[in-house]
C-alpha cells in the first residue's frame, strides 16, 4: 500500500465489507483539525484506497484554502452502477452508510461524487439516521435543525455550484493577465454537471464557449457554440449530436486555438504527451487532478497560467458548507463568489511574487492554516492535561 503517513495525516484508513450483498468500500479521513472530514463518495468498479487517500489529502487543502470548518476526507465504493439495478445500487449505498455510522457525521460528512447524486445522498442519510451525515441532498429534504414543514433548504447539484466557482476563478485569472473575459474563447473538456454549468455562467459573463466534449468526441465552432442547442444535443446522448460545428476526437480539444482551456472531467488528461500542444493562455482545473503536478510546472514554464483544482473547483465544497449551515441558494452563490474570487487572486499574486507555481502557492497557504490550527489544538490539549 503506497500511503505514507506524515504530520498532517491520514487519521483513519478504513476498508468496509458487507457479506450479505458484497458491498466493499473505503473511507479515508485525512485531517480533522479544522473540523469533521468533508469529501464526496465516488462509485467505480476500480476505485482503490490509494486513490481515495490522494483525494482526501486534496480535500484537506481545499477546505483549508476555502476557510471552511471542515477537514479533509474522501470515500469510495467498489461498484459498477451501470451493471446493476437501481434497487441494488440503493442497497449497496445504504450498506456503506451503515458501515460508516461510527464516523458519520461526527468525523466524516459525505457528499455526491462520481456516479452518485442527490438521490443517493438521500439514501445515505436515511440509512445513517442523521441529516448532517451528508450534503447534496434533494431540496425537499430539509435538515431537522433548520427546516420547517414544506420549506426547501437542501442545495442539490442542479444549482451548479461547482461550475459557478469555476467561472469566478476564470474571471479572476483573465483579469490577472490583462485579458477581458467578454469575448474570450473557451474550450471545456467534459459537459457534465461541472462543465455544463461552467459554460452557462461563463456565457453570462460574455465569454465565448467554442468547444466542448464528452466521451464520444469534441464539437468545435470558432464562432461559438449555441448553448440551448448544445443542451439539446446532450439530451440526445452526446454533445457530438450538435449539428453545426466541426466534430473532432475527444483528445483534440486540448490542442485548439483558444484563450482558456477548462478540463472538467477526468484526471490526467494533459500529460507529457500533449502539454506542448496546448495553445491556451489560461488553464482552469475544474476536474480533480486533470494535470500531473510536474506537468503544471512545465506549463508554467511555457507562460501558461494554471489555476489548480484545489482553488478552481472548490465551489462544490463551499456549497456543501452553505447547505450544512442552512443557507439558501442566493446566500450560497454569494459565499462562493467571495471565497473563490479572493483565493484565486491571492494564489496567483503569491505565485508571481515568489516565483513559484500557483499550486505550490495554494498548498503553502493551506498548510500554514492547518499547522496553525494543529498548534492551537496541541496547546489546548496540554492545558487540559
- What is the set of active-site residues? 74
Q: How many helices (H) and strands (E) does the chain have?
A: 11, 13
Q: What share of the chain is helix, strand, coil (3-state, %, to 5)?
A: 45, 15, 35
Name 198's Cβ contacts closer than 8 Å, sequence gap at least 6. Answer: 162, 163, 164, 166, 167, 170, 188, 262, 264, 286
Grid coordinates standing for 300?
508554467
* Alpha-carbon distances of 199 from 31, 225, 342, rounded to whole Å: 34, 10, 21
Say if residues 165 and 312 touch (Cβ distance below 8 Å): yes
* End-to-end CA, the chain: 36
Say if residues 340 and 311 touch (Cβ distance below 8 Å): yes
Largest CA distance in the chain: 70
List the alpha helices (DSSP H) in the chain: 49-65, 86-99, 118-128, 161-176, 193-204, 227-235, 293-301, 309-312, 315-325, 329-354, 358-384
Tell me how long the chain is. 385
Grid coordinates standing for 348?
496567483
- Kind of pairing between the strands at 208-214 and 217-220: antiparallel
The dihedral formed by the CA atoms of 288, 72, 320 and 142, expressed in degrees to the nearest 10: 130
Say if residues 89 and 79 touch (Cβ distance below 8 Å): yes
Name 77's Cβ contacts closer than 8 Å, sequence gap at least 6. Answer: 23, 24, 25, 41, 42, 43, 47, 92, 93, 96
* Alpha-carbon distances of 5 from 9, 10, 30, rounded to whole Å: 6, 6, 9
As a whole number of angstroms, the distance between CA 163 and CA 200 comes to 8
Amino acid at each position: 500500500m503506497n500511503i505514507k503517513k506524515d504530520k498532517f495525516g491520514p487519521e483513519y484508513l478504513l476498508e468496509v465489507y458487507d457479506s450479505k450483498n458484497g458491498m466493499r468500500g473505503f473511507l479515508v479521513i485525512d485531517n480533522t483539525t479544522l473540523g469533521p472530514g468533508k469529501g464526496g463518495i465516488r462509485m467505480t468498479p476500480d476505485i482503490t484506497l490509494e486513490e481515495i487517500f490522494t483525494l482526501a489529502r486534496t480535500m484537506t487543502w481545499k477546505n483549508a484554502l476555502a476557510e471552511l470548518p471542515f477537514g479533509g476526507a474522501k470515500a469510495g465504493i467498489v461498484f459498477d452502477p451501470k451493471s446493476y439495478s437501481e434497487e441494488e445500487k440503493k442497497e449497496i449505498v445504504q450498506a456503506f452508510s451503515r458501515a460508516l455510522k461510527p464516523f458519520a457525521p461526527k468525523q466524516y460528512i459525505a457528499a455526491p461524487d462520481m456516479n452518485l447524486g442527490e438521490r443517493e445522498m438521500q439514501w445515505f442519510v436515511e440509512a445513517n439516521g442523521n441529516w448532517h451525515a451528508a450534503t447534496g441532498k434533494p431540496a425537499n429534504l430539509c435538515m431537522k435543525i433548520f427546516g420547517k414543514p414544506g420549506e426547501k433548504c437542501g442545495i442539490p447539484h442542479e444549482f451548479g455550484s461547482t461550475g459557478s466557482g469555476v467561472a469566478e476563478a476564470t474571471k479572476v485569472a483573465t483579469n490577472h493577465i490583462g485579458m477581458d473575459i467578454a469575448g474570450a474563447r473557451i474550450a471545456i473538456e467534459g459537459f457534465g454537471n461541472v462543465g455544463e454549468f461552467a459554460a452557462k455562467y461563463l456565457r453570462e459573463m460574455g465569454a465565448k464557449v467554442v468547444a466542448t466534449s464528452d466521451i464520444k468526441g469534441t464539437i468545435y465552432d470558432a464562432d461559438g457554440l449555441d448553448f440551448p442547442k448544445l443542451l439539446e444535443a446532450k439530451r440526445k446522448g452526446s454533445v457530438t449530436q450538435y449539428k453545426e460545428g466541426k466534430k473532432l476526437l475527444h483528445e483534440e480539444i486540448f490542442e485548439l486555438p483558444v484563450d482558456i482551456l477548462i478540463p472538467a472531467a477526468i484526471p490526467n488528461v494533459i500529460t507529457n504527451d500533449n502539454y506542448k500542444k496546448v495553445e491556451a493562455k489560461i488553464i482552469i482545473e475544474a476536474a480533480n487532478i486533470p494535470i500531473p503536478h510536474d506537468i503544471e510546472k512545465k506549463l508554467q514554464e511555457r507562460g501558461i497560467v494554471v489555476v489548480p483544482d484545489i482553488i478552481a473547483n472548490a465551489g462544490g465544497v463551499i456549497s456543501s458548507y452553505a447547505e450544512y449551515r442552512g443557507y439558501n441558494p442566493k446566500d450560497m452563490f454569494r459565499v462562493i463568489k467571495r471565497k473563490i474570487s479572493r483565493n484565486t487572486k491571492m494564489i496567483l499574486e503569491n505565485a508571481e511574487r515568489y516565483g513559484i507555481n500557483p499550486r505550490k502557492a495554494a498548498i503553502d497557504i493551506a498548510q500554514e492554516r492547518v499547522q496553525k490550527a494543529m498548534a492551537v489544538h496541541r496547546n489546548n490539549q496540554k492545558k487540559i492535561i
